[in-house]
């Protein structure tokens, strides 16, 4: 079995940067077919002193239906968490489609991006998304230098 991240996990950007503001921002929809585990990572920028940023996950049985919040699938950042990450993982969701909602509340907060890492594939190797511009895998680095 390969231990390569690039052969075993699928990485895609599901939300691009969002300038400061107070709003609920939806990611693109993630199709779960072929994988068991999904890690959503929101990279944050500056958060105003009274601001809060919350990322929550939602699921649906169709890609364009009514998405519902997943219980306990959320993470929160406050002003002291500038330039931090919010991470939420779900294993074997009940429905096929997922998305992240990142809400900036009370005061401004920047969202740099949100990525989803699909893990535990049914088949390997995994072909990466077009979001991965370039990659490298080194099996055994030369340690003689």
Q: Which helix H or strand E contains 6, and what residues bound it?
A: helix 5-8
DSSP 126: P
Neighbour-count burial of 37, counting CB atoms closer than 10 A to its CB (0-12 exposed, 13-18 middle, 19+ buried): middle
Q: Residue 124's pLDDT is what?
A: 87
pTM of the prediction?
0.90
CATH fold group of domain 5-121: Jelly Rolls (2.60.120)
Chain segment 37-80, per-residue pLDDT in tens: 999 999 999 988 888 999 999 999 999 999 999 999 999 999 88
């Amino acid at each position: 079995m390969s231990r390569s991240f690039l052969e075993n996990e699928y990485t895609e950007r599901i939300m691009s940067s969002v300038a400061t503001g107070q709003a609920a921002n939806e990611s693109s929809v993630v199709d779960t077919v072929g994988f068991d585990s999904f890690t959503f990572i929101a990279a944050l920028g500056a958060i105003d002193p009274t601001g809060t940023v919350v990322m929550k996950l939602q699921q649906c049985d169709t890609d364009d239906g009514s998405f519902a919040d997943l219980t306990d699938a959320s993470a929160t950042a406050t002003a002291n968490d500038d330039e931090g990450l919010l991470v939420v993982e779900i294993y074997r969701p009940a429905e096929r489609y997922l998305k992240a909602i990142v809400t900036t509340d009370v005061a401004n907060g920047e969202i740099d991006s949100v990525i989803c890492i699909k893990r535990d594939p049914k088949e390997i190797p995994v072909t990466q998304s077009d979001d991965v511009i370039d990659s490298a895998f080194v099996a055994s680095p030369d340690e003689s230098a």
